[in-house]
Each structure stands twice: as C-alpha cells, then as structure tokens.
Chains A and B, each alone.
Chain A
Amino acid sequence: QKEVEQNSGPLSVPEGAIASLNCTYSDRGSQSFFWYRQYSGKSPELIMSIYSNGDKEDGRFTAQLNKASQYVSLLIRDSQPSDSATYLCAVNLSNQAGTALIFGKGTTLSVSS
C-alpha cells in the first residue's frame, strides 16, 4: 500500500511568520510531488509542484524535495490569515496502466492576525 504521511495539525502561526508543512511518502518510484490548498467546503487547488531534488520558489511559497529521504515540504513565508486552510501533499502513483495521485490526510494551518 503506497502511503503519503502528513501531520494533521492544526499548525498555528502568527501573521507574518513562516509556516512549515512536511510530508513523507513510501513509493520510491514517485516522480511528481504536489501541494494543494483546500479551503473549508471547497475543492483542492494546486499551489506548487516539484519534480527535482532541491528547492522551488513561487512568491511566498517554497517547496523542498529530498528523494533520498522521501520527504517533501512546503514553506509559506510572511503567512497571512488568508493562508488559513488545509494543505494536502500529493504524490504520483505510477503503474503500467497510467498514473494517479495519492494524497496525505492534510495539515490544517491557522494563521492568526
């Protein structure tokens, strides 16, 4: 059973702080890694994707990937109350037929003003 693990939280940070979200995965064959944000009652929306070891920055968001350790993280700098949401880590699951995404259970982030 391929798994993706996240701390469920809640993770609470003050406005302007850095929020650090972590994820580990079990399938060494995974090649693509995604972070989705989901507001309560809404559908998931993609905020970052990363495919190579190292860091990838997009505005206030930085994704970090370490395939040797099977670890991916998301840093949110200058956190805002509007960042309060559940963050889902997703990893591609490959087989002969095609590919799909396996998700972690999500980490709830709360940013206080």
Chain B
Amino acid sequence: DAGITQSPRHKVTETGTPVTLRCHQTENHRYMYWYRQDPGHGLRLIHYSYGVKDTDKGEVSDGYSVSRSKTEDFLLTLESATSSQTSVYFCAISPRPLTMNTEAFFGQGTRLTVV
C-alpha cells in the first residue's frame, strides 16, 4: 500500500470552528489531491498540489484552503466549518501528472461531521 496517512480519521466539530485535515505521504510523490465524497455526488476534487507551494482549485473549492510547505504534507483547512461540509475527505497522491502510465493512490479517508 502507498504510504499515505490521513489524520484525524474521524472528527466531530461545531459549526463556525476552524478545522484542519492532514495528509502525510512517505512516497515523495509530487502531486497531492484532496477530494470529498458525498452520497449522490461521488468523489469531487477540492484542491490539488503539483509541488511545494504550488496549488490549484478543484470543482468544489469554496470554503476550503490548502497549504503545502513540504513535499510530504498537504493540509486542508475549513476556515469556518458549516454543516454542508460534513463529508468523507480523501487524500490522494501520484508521482507524475495523471497522463500516461500513472495512477493516483488514495488514503483511508477522514470522516468529518459538522454539528
């Protein structure tokens, strides 16, 4: 299994509080991604990173920010959590651009509940 660790695995937080999810990899892969998964919506891309300090928005980036200060860590922050951000969050990594002969590996997920 690819060395990806997401933390925490489960979290319950209150509306309006800040929350940071961490993705840590030991593979030295350049590309990292944050997805959320909700019933009826599948996996949706929030943000991704193509190198240290290089990030870009995905299709559902509103309300989220990310940071990548070193290769192994990609942080996802909810500045002020809302109930609509209750979801399962997956981190993924890949060594190269997802063009030829490259796959993305997924972490085990973080289940976030905003009450």
Contacts and interface: CB of A to CB of B under 8 A. Distances in A.
A1 interface: yes
B97 A43 contact: no
Contacts of A42: 108
Given A1-B59, A95-B56, A98-B31, A46 B100 contact: no
B interface bracket (residues with beta carbon within 8 Å of A): 20 to 34
Interface stretch (B10-18, B39-47, B64-72, B79-87): B39-47
Interface residues of A, number: 27
A100 B48 contact: yes
B108 A92 contact: no
Interface string A44-73: 111001010000000000000000000000
Interface string A34-45: 100000001111
Contacts of A22: none
Interface of A: 1, 31-32, 34, 42-46, 49, 51, 88, 90, 92-95, 97-106
